[in-house]
Structure 1
Amino acid sequence: MKHALFQVAKDTEDPSGKVLGVACWLPPKNPTSPQTWESYLGDWWLWFEQVKMNLWHGRGGLDVKRYWIWKAAQAKAQSELWDDENGYYFCNIVTVVPEAQGKGIGKLLFKYVTDQADREGRKCYLESSRAEPNMAIYNSMGFELAKEMVCDDDGDAITLYCMMREPKGP
């Protein structure tokens, strides 16, 4: 994630600068362009670091089979949805601590990147793990449901919600 865009919301009134929320966005790239060597090596570096952490700290209950089910479903969904050669800003993760939820912090974590996407005329993309209340929150920021992505582990299935945001004009 060397080139990811990280947004961090901190409590300015807390002397320690308590973190209230974090967002990680992946920058746009042409979905039909071949992977660069830098990106390829970065993926392997990330894999190596994950293996190292798993060996040192354990997997923490991670079910690797389900991870690969999700990655396969994600690759299929993105290949069907990502057709803009300008690429997409991909909100890889966003989280706000429970006591700060409902105060607009999540929207602020989106604002910088969505404003940048608007200036560049680029779309944004995310995958939500919950229909309620997440989809309504993302709808309020201009995201629309593009596809329901089912991750099925031999009948034990979950649905993720692929959402897109068109760039807004001036």
Structure 2
Amino acid sequence: MQIVLLGDGEIERAATVMAGAFASDPLGLYILPDPQNRLTMLSWFWRQALHRNHLYAGNYTTAGEIRGVASWLPPGAPRETLWDLWQPFWQVLRCAGWRSTYRCLALLEFVERLRDRHCSSPHWYLDGLAVAPESQGQGIGSLLLQPVLERVDREGQTCCLYTSTERAVRFYQRQGFTVCEEVRFQTQAPPLWYMVRSPQ
């Protein structure tokens, strides 16, 4: 299976695939508890992220049919400020209400603090990895990571991510990531694991 850069015209479809893959993610369920707008909001969120990361050639997918997506931010990409995050989140507020908006902003701000704590040197940040539910278990996730993992190993760079399922933790450990911290961003929130991979 060939892994290629995601084309500009494929972002809409890729966002839909990512939303479907994250629809049952514990953090997504906590932040967007209403099933009626969860897929809509997840699609919107991933569309924003993919457009931003497309500027840095950070989105990878499967050639032909989009069966999965890996979306990265490279070293030196501007970090989002809380104000950057707040401006587009009027959309979240309008569709999902105050509670979901507050939780979403709190999570993103919390993750930025984890990133500062565990990845102070220039690094690649895995914004999201998703495989369509019907294509999971076929090794596609590992293939989607390979272009950047091979590059960071070659260039001696670190990469980091966070995830919210133990199954994903085990998957990323097989790719060379180690857990730096297991934490909850709010008392009632599900746990998340912050992971870092040193060059290998």
Q: Same fold (TM over 0.5)?
A: yes
TM-score (norm 2): 0.63
Q: Which of these residues, 128, 137, 152, is aligned with residue 102 of structure 1?
A: 137
Residue identity opposite 1:101 in structure 2: Q
1:148 corresponds to 2:200: no
Distance in 2 (alpha carbons) for counterparts of 1:83 and 1:137: 24
Counterpart in the other structure of 2:161:
126
Deviation for aligned residue 1:129: 1.5
Task: Mark the runs of 5 or more structure 2 residues left unpaired by the alignment.
Answer: 1-51
What value does the CA root-mean-square deviation take over the aligned residues? Answer: 2.8
Q: Which of these residues, 30, 49, 63, is aligned with residue 100 of structure 2?
A: 63
User: Would you say the 8 A contact 1:142–1:165 is kept in 2?
Assistant: yes
Task: Mark the runs of 5 or more structure 1 residues left unpaired by the alignment.
Answer: 11-16
TM-score (norm 1): 0.74
Counterpart in the other structure of 2:21:
none
Greater fraction helix: 2
Counterpart in the other structure of 2:172:
138
1:101/1:147 CA distance change after superposition, 3 Å? same
User: Would you say the 8 A contact 1:74–1:149 is kept in 2?
Assistant: no
Distance in 2 (alpha carbons) for counterparts of 1:4 and 1:125: 18
Greater fraction strand: 1
Q: Which one has the largest radius of gyration?
A: 1
Distance in 2 (alpha carbons) for counterparts of 1:76 and 1:150: 13
Counterpart in the other structure of 1:14:
none
Deviation for aligned residue 1:59: 2.9
Aligned length: 145
Post-superposition Cα deviations, 1:88-146, rounded to whole Å, max 9, x if no partner, equal: 11110010011111111000110000001111100110111212x11111111101101
